[in-house]
């Protein structure tokens, strides 16, 4: 009987400790699984957004914060991180605003991830949704699957070469990451708050897109 008491006195505290540690260890494992493809980045560092970041986001995503309906309330950048990945400088911003809901105002968040470009470029939006394009490339499969909005058709055609359009048609990530060029940035936006463990896939997608764009595009001037 005494032996059983001693065993229980040793085992029970260890079981409780194991239960307490299991949740954070499991969370760390899940985060490691999510960030494994992103190991090449190194470390994100939080910082204040650079001057003009909010104005650039507003210009790049004009429908955000419901400004088209005139009901946006105090949009702002609530978090910013920077990093280096595959030779590119990467930034991510948590963009937040309040909208009028059915019963009360609600908070809306978007994560905007951007890659710096070597030059400033005209506005170009590429989204896999079909319909509403203002530019037809003459590639029926691509034209029917993607919406392309271009401030400069010449720049759009220089970016969307046949190899690039074929890659966009076959890469499943294109369905989830709409692409926008504007100024010295190419970016994509997702719903929800900024989570560093989720930034790898969209950053890799944008960088792989840039790797397929002909080099002479970056010698243009706008």
Looking at the chain, the whole-number percentage of residues with pLDDT higher than 70 is: 73
**How far apart, in whole angstroms, are the C-alpha atoms of residue 105 and residue 66?**
13
Range ranked top by mean pLDDT from 40-49, 67-76, 99-108, 184-193? 184-193
191 pLDDT more than 80: yes
pLDDT at residue 185, as a whole number: 97
For 58-67, letters b (16+ CB in 10 Å) and e give: eebbeebbbe
133 pLDDT more than 90: no
Query: Would the pTM count as exceeding 0.85?
Result: no
pLDDT at residue 100, as a whole number: 72
* β-pair partners for 107: 98
Average pLDDT, the chain: 80
Question: Which stretches within 36-135 are classed as H helix?
Answer: 53-60
pLDDT at residue 51, as a whole number: 85
**How far apart, in whole angstroms, are the C-alpha atoms of residue 130 and residue 142?**
9
Q: Do the strands 179-191 and 105-127 form a parallel or antiparallel pair, or are they unpaired?
A: antiparallel
Average the pLDDT over 62-84 and give the result: 72
**Model confidence over 139-152: pLDDT tens digits?**
999 999 999 999 99
**Model confidence over 14-38: pLDDT tens digits?**
444 444 333 333 333 333 443 344 4
**How far apart, in whole angstroms, are the C-alpha atoms of residue 169 and residue 147?**
12
State the maximum Cα–Cα separation within the chain, in Å, rounded to a whole number.
87
For the stretch 98-104, contacts whose Cβ atoms lie closer than 8 Å and that sit 24 or more positions apart, written own/partner, are: 98/72, 98/73, 98/74, 99/65, 99/66, 99/71, 99/72, 99/73, 100/71, 100/73
**How far apart, in whole angstroms, are the C-alpha atoms of residue 41 and residue 39?**
5
Contacts of 98 (CB under 8 A, 6+ apart): 72, 73, 74, 105, 106, 107, 108
């Amino acid at each position: 009987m005494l032996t059983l008491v001693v065993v229980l006195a040793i085992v029970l505290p260890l079981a409780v400790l194991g239960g307490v540690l299991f949740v954070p260890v499991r969370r760390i494992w899940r985060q490691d699984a999510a960030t494994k493809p992103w190991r090449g980045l190194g470390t994100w560092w939080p910082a204040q957004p650079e001057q003009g970041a909010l104005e650039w986001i507003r210009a790049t995503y004009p429908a955000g914060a419901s400004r088209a309906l005139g009901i946006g309330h105090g949009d702002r950048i609530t978090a910013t991180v920077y990093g280096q990945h595959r030779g590119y400088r990467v930034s991510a911003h948590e963009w937040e605003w309040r909208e009028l809901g059915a019963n009360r105002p609600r908070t809306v968040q978007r994560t905007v991830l951007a890659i710096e470009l070597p030059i400033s470029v005209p506005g170009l939006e590429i989204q896999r949704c079909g319909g509403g394009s203002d530019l037809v490339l003459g590639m029926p499969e691509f034209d029917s699957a993607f919406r392309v909005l271009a401030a400069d058709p010449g720049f759009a055609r220089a970016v969307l070469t046949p190899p690039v359009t074929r890659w966009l048609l076959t890469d499943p990530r294109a369905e989830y990451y709409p692409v926008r060029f504007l100024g010295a940035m190419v970016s994509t936006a997702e719903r929800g708050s900024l989570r560093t463990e989720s930034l790898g896939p969209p950053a890799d997608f944008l960088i792989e897109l840039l790797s397929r764009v002909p080099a002479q595009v970056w010698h243009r001037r706008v």
